[in-house]
Chain A
């Protein structure tokens, strides 16, 4: 099993500021890494796939980077609607998907 570890567990940031969330894989997943956003009571939403490709309709303030075992999600200027929980997902081993435990992005 590929273990995904996200840091920090929670992050307090003011609107308009930049936020960087991290995800580490226990072994290389190449660029087979996605980021999902989840708001309370709503279905998760795919934001980023292929480590850095934005999904359809995702604003340009969201960017992903990394390869191998280290990945980041950066939100360049936080909007009120961005405060949510973010999960990374590896799909390198597509017969055994795994997710990080999530980073909760809170308003400071």
Chain B
């Protein structure tokens, strides 16, 4: 059974760097079939795709976040991570990780998300 589990800081101050990690079990992050994605949902708003990474390190980002977002993969730990720099209150959200098959395919497995609040 594939499971994705996010972990994160909970609370950050403005201008800090957000770091969240997704631990994958039941599947290999080195699978040639899948990309691994970060998606966030601010309070009261819809979901926003942040970006996706392949095990080789190939990444795709939402252009609106590309300048601040870095997604990386650690195949030895079967994890992938998101760093988001220079956060503001607008980055307050539930951050979720997900899996999608290579190519035009939807997210087919999700984590339950970790809430991150940016506040001074």
Query: Chain A residues with Cβ under 8 A from B16's Cβ?
Result: none
Q: Pick the contact of B104 from A42, A91, A100 — CB < 8 Å?
A: A91
Whether A43 contacts B110 by the Cβ 8 Å rule is yes
A107 on interface, CB distance cutoff 8 Å: no
Q: How far is the CA of A95 from the CA of B66 in the complex (A)?
A: 12
Whether A92 contacts B104 by the Cβ 8 Å rule is yes
Q: Pick the contact of A89 from B107, B109, B111 — CB < 8 Å?
A: B107
Nearest-CB distance from B97 to chain A (Å)? 10
Q: How far is the CA of A100 from the CA of B49 in the complex (A)?
A: 11
Whether A43 contacts B112 by the Cβ 8 Å rule is yes
Question: At the interface with chain A, which of B40-48, B68-76, B84-92?
Answer: B40-48
Q: How far is the CA of A91 from the CA of B63 in the complex (A)?
A: 16
Query: Chain A residues with Cβ under 8 A from B48's Cβ?
Result: 99
Q: Report the number of A-B residue pairs with Cβ-Cβ less than 8 Å.
A: 68
A71 on interface, CB distance cutoff 8 Å: no
Query: Chain A residues with Cβ under 8 A from B26's Cβ?
Result: none
Nearest-CB distance from B42 to chain A (Å)? 11
Nearest-CB distance from A68 to chain B (Å)? 15
Whether B112 contacts A91 by the Cβ 8 Å rule is no
Nearest-CB distance from A6 to chain B (Å)? 8
Q: Pick the contact of B46 from A32, A46, A87, A94 — CB < 8 Å?
A: A87
Whether A91 contacts B100 by the Cβ 8 Å rule is yes
Q: Pick the contact of A44 from B60, B96, B100 — CB < 8 Å?
A: B96
Q: How far is the CA of A55 from the CA of B107 in the complex (A)?
A: 11
B24 on interface, CB distance cutoff 8 Å: no
Which residues on A are within 8 Å of B, measured CB to CB? Answer: 1, 4, 6, 32, 34, 36, 41-46, 49, 55, 87, 89, 91-92, 94-102
Please list 15 pairs of residues, one from A and one from B, whose beta carbons are closer than 8 Å in the complex, sorted by A's number.
Answer: A36-B110, A43-B96, A43-B112, A46-B106, A49-B108, A87-B47, A89-B47, A91-B106, A92-B104, A94-B104, A97-B49, A99-B49, A101-B45, A101-B46, A102-B46
Starting from the known contacts A43-B4, A44-B107, 11 additional A-B residue pairs (CB-CB under 8 Å) come to: A43-B109, A43-B113, A44-B96, A46-B110, A55-B108, A89-B47, A89-B107, A94-B100, A94-B103, A97-B49, A101-B46
